[in-house]
Structure 1
Amino acid sequence: MTTSSHQPPRPARSGRVRAAAAAATVALLAAVAGCSLLGGGDDDVTTPRVAAADERTDEPGGTLRALSLGPVLTWDPQRIAARDDAAFAGRTFLRTLTAYQPSTDTRNQSRLVGDLATDTGTPNEDLTAWSFTLREDIAWQDGSPVTCEDVKYGISRTFATDVISGGSTDALAVLAVEKLPDGRSLYRGPYAAVTAASAAAGVDSFDRAVSCRGTTITFTLASPVGDFNEMVTQPAFAPVKKSADKRGDGTFAVFSNGPYQLSAPWRPSTGGSWVRNPHWKSTSDEVRQGYPDRIEYVEGIETQTVAQQIMADGDNARAAVSLGSAPPAIQQHIVTVDSLSDRAVTAGTGLVDYLVPNVRSAVFASVEARQALAVATNRAAYVTALGGAGTGRPAPSLIPEVLPAHHDENPLASGDRGDPDAAKALLGKAGLTIPVPIRVAYRSSPVADKAMAALVAGWTDAGFAPTLSPLEDEYFSTIAQPAAATAYDVFWSNWAPAWASASTILPALFDSTVNLSGGGPGRDYGYFADPGVDTEIARIGTIADRGEREKAWAALDVRLQTLGAYVGLAERRSLYIAGSDVRNLSANEVIGGVVEFADIAVRR
């Protein structure tokens, strides 16, 4: 049960002239370095570790420069949608009831701990109510305490959909707040005038669903949610102090309860300076270390320029870290030069590219034909065309490696490079005559054009006759239209989890009860519908034990792959580099494969 949205990488803002100049610079850099450019896609390409090799420090102080292309669209908790912005906010100024504990070991990055709350919450027996008790000694930047009412008020803002938009709407979906016949919430948020009887009833309904008793907040849910305590790690569930709420004018307003606060108003497309919140106490925070005295966040710098400045390690770059992944063309240089690789890290982002066979297509109506597409798909070639091992890793599953539900089963046993002969045999079982024409829709970009073209050879060898259909504008809304079901046989898509559970992946994409309607396929672009799968999705959501629940999601994922519901392609990767004075550099895969600001430090 989730409202996660597609999380594609932010588009570069450069034009043809700038791109040409960048390419020339990269070529010159490679020539000087005497190394080959990344892009071979070999399985043994060296990539940096998730934590840098430079020595650690526990000494506070210094100024860290965070360099980014940007732009940050908002710092409002209930408006934040971008995963990298949510990760930065959640480690610097914005605390939630629970959080994922930082770790340099990816196996531990999905460990949930209490953040504002003393623990990870207590559900009732049927998982329809959750209670959290707030810690003591947590304060806003003005010294006032963070209260249960502040958490409740923050969540109430999500319901003000006429004022607050862009962020997660999971609160609207799961809280037991009455709805109108058209599906809208009876409660209209904290800004609506309570004049009519229906408006007052909406307030009463919200007050019953989210209630405070001293320092304990209790949520009553419309149906069981086994991982609600993970759902509340999202910024949309963060507290907001009512007296500091800027409402419609608060896009970049920050009122901190974390280790840092803005020293002056945020400057869009330029950035801002984060300084210590004097009222934050490390003793009440088991997530954040808050080592630097100051973080200078600078946006508006091209990603390649950022990487080159930090690689050069000049005076203004020794205490700097890149917030964008280094371009593929210079990644090989970074990972093969010891002095650079020692201060670089790489991480899976959780964003998985995949293909969706259209079951309403005459070609893919049978499971054997869908299996044939999966078996014929050369994921290794796709990753090579993306830019190589630093930009992605072959992924037969939609469940990223860092999630507890991840598994290594590949039920169709095709391997990363595909098996054309086995695919041909499956097409024969499907009763299809070779060559089998298929129309493949995908979101066009220079990199995507190359990556999709790299799949054609394997499909052709297997007996398909593919026609690629690049779409540029409004891609996802286009393929969600009913007309797309008769225009295309296969759709490219991507997806990232909203928190560390497959509950934010498989139900959102393959539960036909919430996706398929006369208006279109929702996120289930291939119109996959299986009553047994729908029943299992509902059952898994009621499993209380996290370990058992995620095992069940893993088993369901194997079932979906076997049925040919989707074909996994690659999990995207990011590579970050820091200056020689940056310490404790690591990347966190569970919150989006981003630089971990909870632990980063600067050598003084």
Structure 2
Amino acid sequence: MRLRPTLLLGAALLTLVTTVAACGGSDSGGSSSAAFDPKNCQGGTLTVLNESGLAKFDPATLYTSGGGALPSLVYRTLTTRKRVAGEAGTTPVPDLATDLGTPSDDAKTWKYTLKDGLKFDDGTPIGSKDVKYGIQRSFSPDLPGGAPYLHDWLIGGADYKGPYNGGDLESIETPDNRTIIFKLRQPHGDFPYLATATQFAPVPKAKDTGTKYQNAPVSSGPYKVEKYEQGKKLILTRNTHWSRAVDDQRLACPDRIEVTSGLEPTVINQRLVSGSGADAKAITTDANVGPEQLARLGSDPSLSKRVSRGVFGETKYLAFDTTKKPFDDVRVRQAVAYAINRQSVINAVGGSSLASPATTFLPEGKAFGQQRYDYFPAGETGDPAKARELLKQAGYAGGLAVELAFPNYDGDGYGPKVAAAVQDALKQAGITVKPKSLSEEDYRTVTGKPATQPPLSLQSWGADWPAGGPFLIPIFDGRQILKEGGNYNLAQLNDPAVNKEIDEINKITDAAQAAPRWGALDAEIGKQALLVPLYHPKTVALFGKGVKNAYVDEWRGWYDVASVSVK
């Protein structure tokens, strides 16, 4: 699972402020009449103002493209997201590799060939063994936190503990210095998407310093780390051994990028609005505009020109534990679905500029294959009468009381404010909600363990890559249920037909063919009312008046820092 940076990686329809340039960006600078020229965009210092991030910067411990777009400025991977605005930006493209990989054996084997001329920031060549070593170290217990897919997908991955004790993962083969082959336990047509994860970044074994590596990593991207203060500061300068001749996806316009983390969103937005000093050439990769700025957008044309809008493939929802009463009865689950007032939920998170109502689990967009459905139509404000009718059929004519768990922090978009909106809506239907607020630190631990999981909880799911698989598999595949903790299949669904369809879709290596199958599966599962979709978040982000080509990409739902330039 990937969470939004400020909310906790996606694709859906994107609205850009300005016209997309041929290079794949947009002249979003607003205050300049000069068009953005990707051939002449070098120079200057870009400032990045963030709320979160920078807690980790080791490619092994980052979760997919965690930390926004920043890691991909230092770490190249076998594949990467296509660096363009719009729907085309939801597809993977080759990065270190010459292509998206050659599948065989029903997508259980994937072969990649590295490009010529690849170099680390010290000038040494990058080879297939460097990529393998980078992947292997991500299995080390000393470097936790990365995406779990390789542990599950690679043969022997579940028991492998990394290379520090001399072990070798035999399911990754390097027959020569440019070839790397992956042997998987089961078919996975999405492997080219997974190969964008930072775990696929090459690491030279001779320069691996273990847990200290993030302080001075060896770069394969356009920038190298000059300074890293965990959780606070990151300064990037040019890697002189990188060039666009070997990397056609990263424009890498600024000479220097200075990132500050740990700022309050209100402070970030105030600094971006005022744009004094270095803040004139600043962006954020995790702070949506606040109420004050939203109110000004309609009346302040100059500010409106410095906003980009988009979405991240994410759904906020109510989760049922269908093994616990009263939610073992589908009529009770349906009653909750009818009772929900989505308009009040959207108002709680800032209004329609920042959220759109959801009746499907999959977000909008061709990449996900969403098929529109609304099996329990309640309109914008809910249907408490229909909910009461269903409760009566289920034997709860006098209503019932339920506990609702939620994190005690509103920044992720499913905290106390949303819980209050849900509580009020259910009250209208005769359902009394007992709020159960948990700390951010405890929330995933409690809700992710079946033995401690509350019957009803607020949850969020975001796309690790823009496709239906990483949305549906963790939530609905019965073989993904983890009794000891870390479980995301909160409904505890274990339907052989669903599991079989997941396996069949996983064999498909053409994303365009797989997408409608994922959409159809979502539509079929939705009939069981295993969860109640609430809303899909939107991004509305400011950028400084001296920033150009700041567009929100459709993979992660934030600015693509690799494409931004400063005046």
Fold similarity call, TM over 0.5? yes
1:407: how far off?
A: 3.3
Q: What residue is the counterpart of 1:173 in the other structure?
A: 152
CA contact (8 A) 1:86 1:235 kept: no
The aligned counterpart of 1:345 is 308
Query: For residue 71 of structure 2, what is the aligned residue in structure 1?
Result: 89
> 1:39: which partner in 2?
none
| Corresponding position: 1:478 with 2:446 | yes
Counterpart contact for 2:552–2:558, Cα < 8 Å: yes
Q: Secondary structure at the match of 1:354?
A: strand
- Matched residue, 1:587: 552
**1:361 maps to which residue?**
324
Q: Classify 1:528/1:390 alpha carbon distance in 2 versus 1 (closer, same or farther; 3 Å).
A: same
The reply on whether 1:574 has 2:553 as its aligned counterpart is no
The one-letter amino acid paired with 1:100 is R
Residue aligned with 1:492, SS:
strand
In the alignment, which of 391, 397, 404 is matched to residue 427 of structure 1?
391
**Which ranges in structure 2 are unaligned for 5 or more consecutive residues?**
9-14, 21-25
How many residue pairs are counted as aligned between the two chains? 542
1:452 matched to which residue of 2? Answer: 419
Q: Say whether 1:120 aligns with 2:100.
A: yes
2:457 to 491, 507, 512: 491
Deviation at 1:177, TM superposition (A): 2.2
Separation of aligned partners in 1, 2:305 and 2:74: 29
Q: Select 2:241's aligned residue among 279, 290, 293.
A: 279
Quote the Cα distance in structure 1 between the aligned partners of 2:498 and 2:53.
40
Q: What residue is the counterpart of 1:153 in the other structure?
A: 133
**Partner SS for 1:474:** helix
Q: Offset of 1:130 from its aligned partner? A: 0.4
Given residue 597 of structure 1, which amino acid in structure 2 is its aligned partner? V
- Alignment equivalent of 1:509, drawn from 458, 467, 475: 475
User: 2: CA distance between counterparts of 1:223 and 1:191?
Assistant: 27
State whether structure 2 residue 468 is matched by structure 1 residue 468: no
Is the 8 Å Cα contact of residues 449 and 486 (structure 2) preserved in structure 1? Answer: yes
Q: 1:317 to 1:445 in 2, by over 3 A?
A: closer
Deviations 1:79-129 (A, max 9, x none): 113855152111x11111111112221x22212211111111110041110
Counterparts of 2:358 and 2:324, CA distance in 1: 25
The 3 A distance-change label for structure 1 pair 505 and 571 is same
Q: State the Cα distance separating 1:554 from its structure 2 match.
A: 0.9
Distance 1:580 1:476 in 2: 39
* Aligned partner of residue 279 in structure 2, secondary structure: coil
Match for residue 230 of structure 2? 268
Distance of 1:436 and 1:310 partners within structure 2: 48
The 5 Å alignment of 1:355-434 reads 355-402=318-365, 403-434=367-398
Paired position in structure 2 for 1:9? 6
CA–CA separation in structure 1 for the residues paired with 2:110 and 2:235: 37
- Displacement of 1:585: 0.7
Displacement of 1:529: 3.2
Deviation at 1:368, TM superposition (A): 2.6
* 1:78 counterpart (35, 39, 60): 60
**In structure 2, distance between residues paired with 1:249 and 1:357:** 41
Q: Residues 135 and 455 of structure 1: is their aligned pair in 2 closer, same or farther, counting only changes over 3 Å?
A: same
Cα distance per residue 1:18-75 (max 9 Å; x no partner): xxxxxxxxxxxxxxxxxxxxxxxxxxxx996796373533222222111223450122
2:5–2:52 contact (8 Å) kept in structure 1: no
Equivalent in 69, 74, 99 of residue 51 of structure 2:
69
Asked if structure 2 preserves the Cα contact closer than 8 Å seen for 1:47 and 1:389, the reply is no
Cα distance in structure 2, aligned partners of 1:456 and 1:212: 59
TM-score by length of 2: 0.88
For residue 225 of structure 1, what is the aligned residue in structure 2? 188
Q: 1:563: Cα distance to partner?
A: 0.5
- Say which SS state the counterpart of residue 502 (structure 2) adopts: helix
- For 1:423, give the aligned amino acid: A
The answer as to whether partners of 2:445 and 2:485 remain within 8 angstroms in 1 is no
Contact 1:328-1:391 within 8 A present in 2 as well: no
Which consecutive residues of structure 1, in runs of 5 or more, have no partner in the other structure? 12-45, 179-183, 194-201
Deviation at 1:280, TM superposition (A): 1.0
Which structure carries more helix by proportion?
A: 1
Q: Deviations over 1:408-431 (max 9, x none)?
A: 333333344333333334334444
What are the superposed Cα offsets for residues 517-567 of structure 1, whole Å, 9 maximum, x if unpaired? 4x4782222333333222222222223332222211111111222101111
3-state SS of the aligned residue for 2:550?
coil
Residue 535 (structure 2) pairs with residue 554 (structure 1): no
- Seq. identity, %: 28
Give the Cα separation in 1 of the matches to 2:302 and 2:327.
Answer: 51
Distance 1:270 1:479, change over 3 A: closer
Contact 1:64–1:320, Cα closer than 8 Å, also in 2: yes
* 1:208 Cα offset (Å): 4.4
Q: What amino acid is the match of 1:427?
A: L
CA distance in 2, matches of 1:8, 1:599: 19
TM-score for the superposition, normalised by structure 1 = 0.83
Alignment root-mean-square deviation, CA:
2.6
Counterpart Cα distance in 2 of 1:82 and 1:209: 19
